[in-house]
């Protein structure tokens, strides 16, 4: 059994990491830390873990050596505690933004959490694209949830040269759980329950992440125009990628073929086809709790637009599930181990 | 492998039966029938079954012999097709109301779906109370979802003689999925999204079911005052049982002890205690998709009231999960087999 | 123009008081106070007041003399500031719990906010029942929102001697706005969005208020068994009153007649009749923003139960609207002045 | 009093037209027609009209002469009944898509509802832009709700030459009420409650309407890339317009000035500024029931993007309210008459 410790496990992503790892056949959860809940049982903040473990939260400083560390601490914390934390485990998977970008890009998008130059680089853990690099990785940064959705839709089109890389609009819609477990005015239920607000029309940090990852995985630099809109749900992201044909398409199905061939061997990405379902649109609802991403693609031939929609659960495929997916790859385990849940409908 | 056929599998309960059985290690889903979706794949109406099976729906009349039949057809249908269906399987589990009541009570509460006197009786499949009868059963009726929640809370109090059986108020709150998959005005999203309506203040059929089951399991006839209220959610039931002390309590914890001792050995019923959780109230949300029921009990010593709250997922513990639970018991399998999912939070 | 000052106007009830008064033809809003928002415009916390006023919040201590004070400060605050505030206006309307109960009952239900014996008594401002006392009142306490709903349904039955006063169950369902504008964990959107939790099964303070008001208005002391359940909505209350026939009814419509005759002359209480509407159930949704309460009554003749459902908007009929209603009565204005909004559907 | 008849008044837009007209000081509702509800009172399908009128629905064929006809019939119906309906009133306001486009464009986007060439043209009733044409109009077509939101945001930028007209992306988010009052699977509450689905990525008919109206009002033809996404709410639209700078901006506030100067004199369009509110984003929630549209504009100077967000209530500013606004203009009444409601918060 691989002994895994989870840092910052009192929040929502941490709760999902614990849910997945406690049921994982090859993993033992050795420790879970939370300053706020230290001394309390895991199910104190996480009702869905009732009966799943008798473990109690430890404070961060009580962290002991283990095989793999999964850090769910807020952005900036792992950087800050690096010298303390990094010697404790041979492998580290980080869910924050601390190591997703190269140092220069990081300093630009996260000016308040500078990353010392001597810190090592992490592998950007987009499993379907990082491939072999993940199997050999010692340090992995889990992508941001909205970047994750957008990239799964965008990358096949860029790689295939189908779309103009200098003009990509990503309009992402997100539930409230991505904002974390700490209450504030904007997450207060009477204010948030009917929210339909483009809370970050420009300047969202995932812009840089999508641009950098597109270059990393396709060799082509893209200019991404990103906006994020809060919608009245808790879990789930829908990223709508508006891209524009770089050349005449062979036929209207060429983008669909690009997506389908990209993900044919990948168990967690599904390309939806019209008429295969009573509701053939990617939607995060039925994906809640799963590590799956649903994609669709539509073409407006007359106006030269290619629209990809990508839906996923921000806390699973967009966070905890990808951490476990990366863990499986790093450990040489079956890719889908511990990630078999297929979702609920209706929900 | 036990070969199971699911009749009327195109609706919501059917979809959940399929989800559970397709992942059940001791079961093979032999057939699934649906008039509406005949010829379509299981995931056509059930997006969460994508990738889980390549089976297609058959029409009801194509049903072939199997080991166990699970019927999710609407109330009245299994009665109507009894002579056709019953020879096909040695064991039948029915999720409708057709066989929950004895013939006399059935005729009273379901006057439009009369049950011929020659039809056999079914075991009332409340697993925690039917016990050994379920292990030997050939025919099982799954309880109604709201009756199920109310009974789990009420029965321990009645059996212990703690409450006056002639005065029990059950105020049940329910999401929209209990109404099934067929659209109508009251389920139209603009009408239902903010609904908070006591749509059945009196005369709800689960009244008879709770009264009959209380007598069956405790020997005491109760008079149940039942009301059902629609709330703005999809899954889940909260049944609030207002009961009244039949005698002075030993102490304020006596009702809690009655509940806790009743369910100590039962893996799917949890009695919540104050302070054990950041949110120590039974709520259906984190139970979505699980076969668990959460209970709490509170006492107003001054006014002599004992309040039990019971939360469950109407489609799982209140329907499909109990069907699988009963199946496990009938087959001599481990009670929790195929029912290990612990839920999601937040949701 | 009557000059009205609103204390504690930064919260949700305060925002609704301002909305109603700013549009009231006989009122001028002279001041609005808020410690948190002092110096900001009214529409800073209240987006729906945009364009309605150029007033800015003052701190409490800047309060000046006016004709009528409406206090929306939290319970305990008006008591604490009584000697400062009370000389400033000849008439005071308080929306908190400070003056709803007599001193003895108040001390029992609000032990942490003791009320000095020398403070004057307020008229309990349930308009349909306080009648002439309100027209002559100088000091008015607006009822609690859940008590308000329950009382409108219960009082006619008790006064008519139809129900047993020693056994009344009130099961109230409420949205999140009743909890106020201050964020905490239980109101955090991811925790509250799917909440269906009986957060106060026993011991709710409105118990005492309903019992006291029943005695005050009918001369009969009732024993009220009250529970409050949070449902996934923002505005609105549905109070289900389960009462029990004290004697054989003349006929099944006797309770309906009792309600209908009580409220025949009262413009804000509507008794719904079956078949008069496509959805003949009291629901708070279409009452959002209005000062109306919808009632229905159902009878289970066999079991002797009479069920009244009462729906209202907790922030209007349950708070701000009743304050304005009382103001109209105190000023000798038309009862419905400034309260003409009839609601939206669908919502 | 102007006598107005409302055709097809049983649906959601019709209900809102009735709500507004019944409270309008210069209007008398002479007739309301509905095939489905003929003979029923207006409040049968419209609970918010209870107490507002004793009128009953007539069948369409019972329509009598009046001063103004407001048609809320589905697209295609007014065309079909033109010879019957048009002689009955000197002025007609149509809320359907029948007369929004010129005949050629209409045939292209609505091929199943051809419009005979001899039918007259309607004025496209976007009040802030149609201006004097509306005051003189005899026939007015109310814009589509999503087109309306998008146009209010886009037109000032195009007219000022700030953005490239050949590349405009409109990502519109909409609640369920826009789909009308007729239930179907996609609007069934369990399917729709958590929906976050881009149900029309390409080919939405409002594309043509936005393009045509942009040319009409600015003289510049734009190419609009439109997608529509269903979000989990009932009322409201948020249209996010992603546009791209046609030239270097004078400064970052130039787009804001273009919007602000355009709507300075228009009472129903508000341009939000940062820091003026605790929640400075356009959101449809607090606009529910109002005839207001909130706009904001953000600039990504580095990437040359200008983002406008436009929020409105699809049933009011996006339908019924604009009909009444147009009516006021046509009748020479004050622009805001009958449209004073400012909304509710929280909701």
* pLDDT tens sequence across C171-198: 999 999 999 999 999 999 999 999 999 9
Q: Is the ipTM of this structure higher than 0.95?
A: yes
Task: Spell out the residues 6+ positions from residue B55 whose beta carbon is closer than 8 angstroms to its own.
Answer: B29, B31, B32, B41, B42
Q: In this structure, are residues B181 and B37 in contact, taking their beta carbons and an 8 Å threshold?
A: no
Q: How far apart are CA C281 and CA C278, in angstroms?
A: 9
Kindly report the average pLDDT of chain A as a whole number.
97
Task: Spell out the residues 6+ positions from residue A290 whose beta carbon is closer than 8 angstroms to its own.
Answer: A313, A316, A317, A321, A339, A341, A342, A343
| Residue D138: per-residue pLDDT | 98
| Residue C161: per-residue pLDDT | 98
The H or E element containing residue D3 is strand D2-7
| Residue A279: per-residue pLDDT | 86
Across the interface, do A50 and B344 touch by the CB < 8 Å criterion? no
Catalytic-residue membership of C72: no
pLDDT over threshold 90, residue D131: no
pLDDT over threshold 90, residue C8: yes
| Residue B275: per-residue pLDDT | 85
- Peptide bond connecting C346 to the previous residue in cis, omega within 30 degrees of 0: yes
Domains by residue range for chain C, with CATH = 2-141+317-331 (3.40.50.720), 145-314 (3.30.360.10)
| Residue A202: per-residue pLDDT | 98
| Residue A274: per-residue pLDDT | 86
A90-94, B48-52, D276-280: the lowest-pLDDT one: D276-280
> Is C265 exposed, middle or buried, given 0-12, 13-18 or 19+ CB atoms closer than 10 A?
exposed
A:D CB pairs within 8 Å: 149
Beta strand residue intervals within C158-268, DSSP E: 168-174, 197-200, 224-230, 237-244
Q: In this structure, are residues C213 and C123 in contact, taking their beta carbons and an 8 Å threshold?
A: no
Q: How far apart are CA A10 and CA C220, in angstroms?
A: 52
| Residue A276: per-residue pLDDT | 86
| Residue B131: per-residue pLDDT | 86
Across the interface, do A47 and B277 touch by the CB < 8 Å criterion? yes
pLDDT (tens digit, 9 = 90+) per residue, C325-340? 999 999 999 999 999 9
Across the interface, do A242 and D347 touch by the CB < 8 Å criterion? no
Nearest CA in chain A to B180: A346
| Residue D81: per-residue pLDDT | 96
| Residue C265: per-residue pLDDT | 97
Task: Spell out the residues 6+ positions from residue D228 whose beta carbon is closer than 8 angstroms to its own.
Answer: D146, D172, D173, D174, D198, D199, D200, D204, D206
Contact partners for chain C, using 3 or more CB pairs closer than 8 A, are A, B, D
Q: How far apart are CA B105 and CA A15, in angstroms?
A: 47
| Residue C34: per-residue pLDDT | 98
Contact partners for chain A, using 3 or more CB pairs closer than 8 A, are B, C, D
Q: In this structure, are residues B263 and B128 in contact, taking their beta carbons and an 8 Å threshold?
A: yes
Scan for tokens 């641009």, then name that residue: A211
Write the residue in C47, C52, C343 that is nearest to D48 by C-beta: C343
Buried b (16+ CB within 10 A) or exposed e, D124-140: bbbbbbbeeebeebebb
The H or E element containing residue D168 is strand D168-174
pLDDT over threshold 90, residue D223: yes
Q: How far apart are CA C150 and CA A118, in angstroms?
A: 67
Catalytic site positions of A: 145
For the range D157-161, what are the long-range contacts, defined as Cβ-Cβ under 8 Å and sequence gap of 24 or more? D157/D241, D157/D243, D157/D255, D157/D258, D157/D259, D157/D306, D157/D308, D158/D214, D158/D218, D158/D220, D158/D222, D159/D217, D159/D218, D159/D220, D159/D258, D159/D262, D160/D254, D160/D258, D161/D246, D161/D247
Is this model's pTM higher than 0.90 or not?
A: yes
pLDDT (tens digit, 9 = 90+) per residue, D103-117? 999 999 999 888 998
Q: Which among D251, D242, D262, D218 is positioned nearest to D310, based on CA atoms?
A: D242
Give, to the nearest 10 degrees, the angle between helix D145-159 and helix D254-263.
120
The number of beta carbons lying within 10 Å of the beta carbon of residue B88 is 15
pLDDT over threshold 90, residue C131: no
Q: In this structure, are residues A295 and A270 in contact, taking their beta carbons and an 8 Å threshold?
A: yes
Average pLDDT, integer, range D225-254: 97
Across the interface, do B225 and C309 touch by the CB < 8 Å criterion? no
Write the residue in D12, D44, D276 that is nearest to C278 by C-beta: D44
| Residue C186: per-residue pLDDT | 95
Set of chain D residues whose Cβ sits within 8 Å of the Cβ of B236: none
Mutate to test the interface with D, among B189, B192, B233 (most CBs of D within 10 A): B189
Q: How confident is the model at residue D274 (pLDDT cuts 50, 70, 90)?
A: confident
pLDDT over threshold 90, residue D26: yes
Which residue numbers of C have CB closer than 8 Å to D's CBs? 12, 15-16, 19, 23, 41, 43-52, 177, 234-235, 270, 276-279, 283, 286, 288-289, 340-347
Beta bridge partners, B141, equal B94, B124
Q: What percent of chain A has pLDDT over 70?
A: 100
Q: How far apart are CA A69 and CA A142, in angstroms?
A: 13
Q: In this structure, are residues C177 and D346 in contact, taking their beta carbons and an 8 Å threshold?
A: yes
Helix runs in chain D, H state only: 12-22, 77-80, 82-85, 103-109, 127-130, 132-135, 145-159, 189-192, 206-218, 254-263, 321-331
The token duo for D168 is 């405009």
End-to-end C-alpha distance for chain A, whole angstroms: 34
The number of beta carbons lying within 10 Å of the beta carbon of residue D223 is 16
End-to-end C-alpha distance for chain B, whole angstroms: 34
Give, to the nearest 10 degrees, the angle between helix A254-263 and helix A145-159.
120
DSSP of C24-86, one letter per residue?
Answer: -TTEEEEEEB-TTTTTSBTTTT-GGGTTT---B-B-GGG---EEEEEE-PPTTHHHHTHHHHG
Across the interface, do D189 and B185 touch by the CB < 8 Å criterion? no
End-to-end C-alpha distance for chain C, whole angstroms: 34
Task: Spell out the residues 6+ positions from residue B263 whose beta carbon is closer than 8 angstroms to its own.
Answer: B128, B152, B156, B269, B270, B271, B295
Q: Which among B343, B327, B342, B344 is positioned nearest to B25, based on CA atoms?
A: B327
Nearest CA in chain A to D191: A346
pLDDT over threshold 90, residue B91: yes
Q: How confident is the model at residue A275 (pLDDT cuts 50, 70, 90)?
A: confident
- Which among C66, C72, C145, C293 is annotated as catalytic? C145
pLDDT over threshold 90, residue C113: no
- Which among B66, B72, B145, B293 is annotated as catalytic? B145
CA neighbours within 13 Å on the CB side: how many for B294? Answer: 29
Across the interface, do C183 and A188 touch by the CB < 8 Å criterion? yes
pLDDT over threshold 90, residue C153: yes
Across the interface, do C189 and A187 touch by the CB < 8 Å criterion? yes
Set of chain D residues whose Cβ sits within 8 Å of the Cβ of B183: 183-185, 187-188
End-to-end C-alpha distance for chain D, whole angstroms: 34
Q: How confident is the model at residue D262 (pLDDT cuts 50, 70, 90)?
A: very high
Q: How confident is the model at residue B279 (pLDDT cuts 50, 70, 90)?
A: confident
Q: In this structure, are residues B288 and D194 in contact, taking their beta carbons and an 8 Å threshold?
A: no
Q: Strand A305-312: give its sheet, edge to edge.
A: A197-200, A224-230, A168-174, A237-244, A305-312, A293-300, A269-271
Q: How far apart are CA D113 and CA C288, in angstroms?
A: 38
pLDDT over threshold 90, residue D279: no
DSSP of A296-313, one letter per residue?
Answer: EEEEETTTTEEEEEEEE-
Q: In this structure, are residues A192 and A176 in contact, taking their beta carbons and an 8 Å threshold?
A: yes
Q: How far apart are CA B41 and CA B55, in angstroms?
A: 6
Q: How far apart are CA C149 and CA C155, in angstroms?
A: 10
Helix runs in chain B, H state only: 12-22, 77-80, 82-85, 103-109, 127-130, 132-135, 145-159, 189-192, 206-218, 254-263, 321-331
The token duo for A267 is 């168990």
Q: In this structure, are residues D244 and D306 in contact, taking their beta carbons and an 8 Å threshold?
A: yes
pLDDT over threshold 90, residue D276: no
Average pLDDT, integer, range B120-140: 96
Q: How confident is the model at residue B213 (pLDDT cuts 50, 70, 90)?
A: very high
Given the DSSP bridges, would you call strands D168-174 and D237-244 parallel, antiparallel or unpaired? antiparallel
Given the DSSP bridges, would you call strands B89-94 and B66-71 parallel, antiparallel or unpaired? parallel
pLDDT over threshold 90, residue B135: yes
CA distances from B253 to B257, B274, B298 (A): 6, 12, 9
The number of beta carbons lying within 10 Å of the beta carbon of residue C89 is 23
Write the residue in B41, B341, B347 that is nearest to A341 by C-beta: B341
What CA dihedral angle connects D334, D338, D342 and D346, to 10 degrees? -170
| Residue C299: per-residue pLDDT | 98
Q: How far apart are CA C81 and CA C70, in angstroms?
A: 14
B274 vs C92 pLDDT, higher one: C92
Question: At A282, is the secondary structure helix, strand, or coil?
Answer: coil
Set of chain C residues whose Cβ sits within 8 Å of the Cβ of B175: 196
Task: Spell out the residues 6+ positions from residue B324 whose beta carbon is closer than 8 angstroms to its own.
Answer: B17, B20, B21, B24, B291, B338, B339
Distance of alpha carbon D283 from its chain centroid, rounded? Answer: 16
């Amino acid at each position: 059994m691989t002994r895994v410790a989870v840092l910052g496990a009192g929040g929502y992503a941490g709760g999902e990491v614990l849910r997945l790892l406690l049921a994982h056949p090859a993993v033992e959860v050795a420790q879970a830390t939370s300053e706020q809940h230290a001394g309390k049982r895991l199910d104190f903040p996480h009702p869905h873990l009732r009966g799943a473990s008798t473990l109690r939260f430890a404070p961060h400083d009580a962290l002991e050596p283990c095989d793999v560390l999964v850090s769910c601490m807020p952005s900036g914390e792992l950087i800050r505690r690096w010298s303390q934390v990094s010697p404790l485990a041979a492998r580290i998977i980080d869910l924050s933004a601390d190591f997703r970008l190269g140092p220069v890009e990081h300093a630009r998008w996260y000016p308040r959490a500078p990353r010392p130059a001597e810190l090592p680089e992490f592998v950007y853990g987009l499993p379907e694209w990082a491939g072999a690099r993940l199997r050999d990785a010692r340090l992995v940064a889990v992508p941001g949830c909205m970047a994750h959705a957008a990239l799964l839709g965008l990358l096949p089109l860029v790689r295939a040269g189908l779309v103009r890389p200098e003009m990509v609009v990503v309009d992402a819609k997100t539930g409230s759980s991505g904002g974390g477990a700490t209450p504030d005015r904007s997450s207060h239920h009477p204010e948030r329950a009917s929210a339909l607000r483009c809370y970050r029309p420009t300047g969202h940090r995932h812009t840089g992440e999508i641009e950098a990852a597109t270059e990393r995985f396709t060799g082509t630099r893209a200019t991404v125009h990103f906006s994020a809109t809060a919608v009245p749900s808790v879990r789930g992201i829908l990223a709508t990628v508006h891209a524009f044909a770089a050349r005449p398409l062979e036929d209207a199905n060429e983008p669909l073929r690009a997506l389908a061939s990209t993900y044919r061997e990948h168990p967690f990405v599904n390309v939806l086809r019209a008429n295969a379902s009573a509701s053939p649109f990617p939607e995060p609802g039925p994906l809640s709790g799963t590590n799956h991403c649903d994609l669709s693609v539509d073409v407006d031939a007359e106006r030269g637009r290619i629209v990809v929609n990508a839906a996923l659960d921000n806390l699973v495929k967009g966070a905890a599930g990808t951490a476990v997916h990366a863990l499986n790859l790093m450990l040489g385990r079956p890719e889908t181990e511990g990630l078999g849940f297929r979702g609920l409908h209706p929900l």
